Amino acid sequence: MISLYYGQDSNSLDRLQDWLEKVAERQPPVYKIKSFSVDYSWMDLKDNDNEIKLQTPDIFAEAESQNEIFNSLSDKEYKLVTPASIRKLNRQWSKVIYHRERSFPWDERGWIEFLEKTPQCFDSIEIINDILMALEEWQQEKDVLENISLPLAQRAWQIYESLPEQGGMPTRFSENESLYLALSSIILILKQLGQNDGLISYYERLIIINPTDILGLRGGLAHEYLAQKEYDKFFNLLRIYSRDVSLDFSMAKVLALWATGDIDAAKKQWSKVKKYNSHIKKYLLKNDIAMPKITYEITVGGEDEAWLYRNVARDIWLEHKGALDWLKQN
């Protein structure tokens, strides 16, 4: 990690923004990739005859046949290969921000100077991701989001889109993980800025890049589908992640079933959810309710889980007129 403010150097963010403006026109670097075979049988999408038994979602439909594009995704994934010059740069960067003699894993001096004298840092996914992680504490500051975080995330996407091929990139490879984390940062940045128009596209592409969805982005995608009343797309997503029993997916299913007129199925699903989390009804129905104690460990079936769901999804329920009244009656 790096420290964005320290001691006498309190203008780190200004200098970082100046650096980004100077390197903004750099052409994306040439990263290579290695491809290998992969099996998505964990998704339960294929039967014993290796045939697709569930409808493939629109998010994979960039070819005439959705099944064909999904099959091509299923048997090939990619590993990012960092150019030698950028690997050398990453090693130099690590020496600047990590200090062996300190208990804290960063050196508070030198990182901004290193960027200023090394425009090539804008070509490094690892460095971009390090800076984005350091900027997380500034996620409430609009100026920082617009002028620093967003350009960095967009650069990560520029690098990804310049790859010779695109598709699944498993995060068990460190290069892929840095890329995926940098790419996924665009979601929170756009949400904080209130720029929701392109969110679904980014969610969908991130699911394609990492179908195992280590960050749980499918929950956010489900919310966006329901907010836009894209029920067919939600049900397709639900079929892909049929094993997901999270509160996000379970409640989204209730709303989608109700909204599409399958009331009996909605009632059955709602009964299951209330057994799973007995607090959810109270937290959704009340206009004002105090936030329970929230920790890093969410309690399955707990009030904290119910409140967190309310926090992200209640507005969507309110946009479906009559939905909360139906919950109250059932």
pLDDT (tens digit per residue) in 269-310: 999 999 999 999 999 999 999 888 888 788 889 999 999 999
Assigned domain for 226 exists:
no
- Tell me which of 75, 101, 126 is where a domain ends: 75
- Tell me which of 194, 212, 230 is where a domain ends: 212
Domain co-membership, 11 together with 66? no
Assigned domain for 228 exists:
no
Three-state DSSP class for residue 7: coil
Asked whether the beta carbons of 276 and 269 are under 8 A apart, the reply is no
Model pLDDT for residues 240-267, shown as the tens digit of each residue: 888 888 999 999 999 999 999 999 999 9
pLDDT of residue 61: 42
Domain co-membership, 162 together with 93? yes
Domain co-membership, 93 together with 172? yes
Domain count, the chain: 3
Assigned domain for 218 exists:
no
Domain co-membership, 10 together with 138? yes
The backbone torsions φ and ψ at residue 96, rounded to the nearest 5 degrees and listed phi first, read -75, -45
Parent domain of 315:
239-330
Of 42, 40, 106, 51, which Cα lies nearest the Cα of 74?
40
pLDDT of residue 108: 53
The structure's pTM equals 0.84
Assigned domain for 70 exists:
yes
Assigned domain for 231 exists:
no
pLDDT average, residue stretch 201-230: 92
Domain co-membership, 259 together with 249? yes
Q: How many secondary structure helices (H) and strands (E) does the chain include?
A: 16, 2
Place of tokens 């280590």: 214
Assigned domain for 66 exists:
yes
Domain co-membership, 55 together with 7? no
Domain co-membership, 12 together with 160? yes
- Tell me which of 176, 196, 212 is where a domain ends: 212
What percentage of the chain carries pLDDT values higher than 70? 82
Assigned domain for 320 exists:
yes
Domain co-membership, 28 together with 140? yes
Domain co-membership, 122 together with 15? yes
Assigned domain for 268 exists:
yes
Number of CB atoms found within 10 A of residue 288's CB: 4
